[in-house]
Structure 1
């Protein structure tokens, strides 16, 4: 059975909707390991010998909202919502670079030194300055002995928190809520994939926990200037080093354990390619089915999905993280 792929991209500028009528390709990158999801829409600079750059720039600008929908036979799913971050031209193509709702946090915040503080209190401080109507949902209990904000946007501060704590940070524009959660805790939907049915290709490797030797080093400089270090994992394994702000040994261990989660299971790691159905997003649980090697069957947490589509059709590249159960 064959299906016709359909798409719809709508920009809204100053209250006016503008539907995109032509496109060369589009790529949407969603990941719990990145602060913001992004979309890149590529257009030919000239269509039917008419230059479209002026027309685009008259209707679309930085800060215009964008909604991207995708599906088959008119059954469209919303794949991305966000804002235009930039428009570029190069090599006879026009690119519209978009960012999810965390674009709204690209606002400067006041310089401040917080002693002591927590991830939740830092998030609330940012929200109070960006838009007091926003809310914070944070269940990631990481505390700082000192946290400094200097010549930064709220987005910069959130990026630092994400890099140091590895937390899952995103903004839900529908509920006006900034979310900060521990890695791999939040659960989205579910989907099934079979190596004999709907996995087009894969670079998945089956490994055992005993072979995934990882040694995590968390380093921090305390308020008295002393450098301290927390080490977790297997001595002699692949080394991961993270530098964090001043915090307790207990909080450093939380971050170290979060970094180790990817290594303590027998199962697959890597990526696989599929089509647009079934829909799958980061935080989803996917069940992988291998009819030839049933012992490899299992359920995995999705950490990233790259969705690409254009005249040649569409596909998803799914990156799995930790194993959350057997098949």
Structure 2
């Protein structure tokens, strides 16, 4: 097992020479991907001190692998350094960290997710590019005493879009769920899965009713429902928008909560490499009916003296 952790701060690079554990959490359902590096608080009775090297805002790259064959698992920024229970933790976030700064108050009308996101980039960091193919329209969108993070969080909560950053290419992505394809990976219960908690569920067995509520510019409440009447109720309150866009959001919410697929996760190792948005080709010789291609929703990667492990969660069945 090999690892390489590099920090960049004030024009200089630093390598971390010891760790106790690394945990990296990535998900298309979360706005931010995180990494937590745990270190012993003291080595040879000497307290570790990063005051003059690593601090909030330092860039970080984490590479993990075997036999010096390393893959970049995380890149981002140091959010905080804490001491707790005889250990020291370095808390890191992806490029969303850069967007935790205040933006100008604004009342945008009419507007769209693409225009709102681009305004954040223009104010915070123009080196980022925007990739948005899920452009929900707003009759009015208000920003008041908010950070870029607050605005993106509101957009994600209201539209259920996948909003995430590609730190390496400096791209802010906004897509409808399950459409963005990051790569492919192959899993077999008999070959490269340590254990599984997967259970196959069918959409026909789960009844869901989705309601979208919006208040138009005149203060009138609009409502749109879809799904199965009397099923599990999901209600989303969104900003002022057209009925067409309300229907688009309802369709996304219904798909996220009612689909044929495997519910649960698998425990694997660092190889094969996988990220959220990957298409996972899954097979099980004992249960051939579970064979299929599944969308990877999230991964939690841990690395320590006990080994490297990756917990992979599947979502909708793609084929």
Out of 153, 161, 164, the position equivalent to 1:167 is: 161
Query: Does residue 213 of the first structure (1) align with residue 207 of the second (2)?
Result: yes
SS in 2 for 1:59: coil
The correspondence for 1:14, drawn from 4, 10, 16, is 10
Matches within 5 A, 1:136-285: 136-285=130-279
Equivalent of 1:120, from 114, 120, 136? 114
**How many angstroms does 1:175 deviate by?**
3.4
Asked if the contact 1:184/1:301 (under 8 Å) is kept, the reply is: yes
The Cα of 1:239 is off from its aligned counterpart by 2.0
Match for residue 95 of structure 2 among 96, 101, 107:
101
* Counterparts in 2 of 1:262 and 1:170: CA distance versus 1, 3 Å: closer
8 Å Cα contact 2:28-2:277 kept in structure 1: yes
Q: CA deviation at 1:264?
A: 4.9
Aligned-partner SS, 1:66: strand
Contact 2:277–2:295, Cα closer than 8 Å, also in 1:
yes
Could you list the per-position Cα deviations for residues 100-151 of structure 1 after superposition, in whole angstroms to 9, with x for gaps in the alignment? 0121112211001111110001011111111234322211120011100011
The TM-score with structure 1 as length reference comes to 0.94
Instruction: Report if the CA contact (8 A) 1:119-1:141 is conserved.
Output: yes
2:34 matched residue in structure 1: 38
CA contact (8 A) 2:261 2:315 kept: no
Q: Is the 2:208–2:258 Cα contact (8 Å) retained in structure 1?
A: no
Task: State the Cα distance separating 1:266 from its structure 2 match.
Answer: 3.3
Post-superposition offset of 1:262: 3.4
State the alpha-carbon separation in 2 of the partners of residues 95 and 184 from structure 1: 33
TM-score (norm 2): 0.96
| Deviation of the 1:265 alpha carbon | 4.1
- Indicate the larger mover: 208-217 or 145-154: 208-217
Q: Does 1:317 align with 2:316?
A: no
Shift of 1:177: 2.7
Cα deviation digits, residues 60-119 of structure 1 (max 9, x gap)? 100000000001111000000000011111111111110001211122110011111100
Determine if contact 1:117/1:147 at 8 Å carries over to the other structure.
Answer: yes
Contact 2:128 2:171 in 1 (8 A): yes
Distance of 1:317 and 1:76 partners within structure 2: 19
In the other structure, the counterpart of 1:23 is: 19
| Secondary structure class of the residue paired with 1:10 | strand
Give ranges in structure 1 of 5+ residues lacking alignment: none
For residues 129 and 209 of structure 1, the distance between their equivalents in structure 2, rounded to whole angstroms, comes to: 43
Q: Distance in 1 between matches of 2:172 and 2:52?
A: 32
The separation in 2 between residues aligned to 1:8 and 1:44, in whole angstroms, is 17
* Contact persistence 2:75–2:167 (CA under 8 A): no
Structure 2, gaps ≥5 residues long: none
Cα distance in 2, alignment partners of residues 70 and 176 from structure 1: 22
Is the Cα contact below 8 Å between 1:213 and 1:263 reproduced in 2?
A: no
